[in-house]
Amino acid sequence: MSQLVRISAVIDEKDQQIEKLRTELSRLRNWDAFVSEVEIKEIDNGKFAYALREPANEVESKLLYCATCFAEERKSILQMDESWADIYICFACKTELKTPSTHAKPTAQIRVRRTRWMDDYR
């Protein structure tokens, strides 16, 4: 192998390393930006999740991020269980957070269920 070919191979390897580091740097910058936008919140006695400090709209004000995934630098939104309105689930790590139903935000879904129930008895 000529010296030129060897130098070229070394340069290619370094280029690949630089690209990997750029990708990792971008990921870390995005994560740091997210970390600065959220704060830990106690959603029930001893049960924590992250929420946006300054939500831009009503939907964002309802977002809760899984604390378990957060510790692993993963952004995962907790979802309200469809059958149990007082349980939040993280589909990434399967964490379940049961909250008192008074904490469950009234949703359109709950109102629809009540309407259907009332329709059955008309």
Residues 94-113 that bind Zn ion (CB under 5 A): 95
| CB nearer Zn ion, residue 84 or residue 91 | 91
Longest Cα–Cα distance in the chain: 90
| CB nearer Zn ion, residue 95 or residue 110 | 95
| CB nearer Zn ion, residue 37 or residue 68 | 68
Strand, coil or helix: 91: coil
Smallest separation, CB 62 to Zn ion (Å): 17
Positions of E strands within the chain: 38-44, 47-52, 65-66, 79-80, 87-89, 96-98
Give the dihedral sign, CA 80/45/50/76.
negative
Tokens of 39: 């704060």
Binding mask 9-48 for Zn ion (x = CB under 5 A): ----------------------------------------
Q: Can residue 51 be called a binding residue for Zn ion (CB under 5 A)?
A: no
Per this entry, what is the length of the chain?
Answer: 122
Binding mask 57-96 for Zn ion (x = CB under 5 A): ---------x-xx------x-------------x-xx-x-
| CB nearer Zn ion, residue 15 or residue 96 | 96
Q: Tell me, what DSSP letter sits at residue 106?
A: P
Residues binding Zn ion: what is the number (CB under 5 A)? 8
Q: Considering just the CA atoms, what is the radius of gyration of the chain in Å?
A: 23
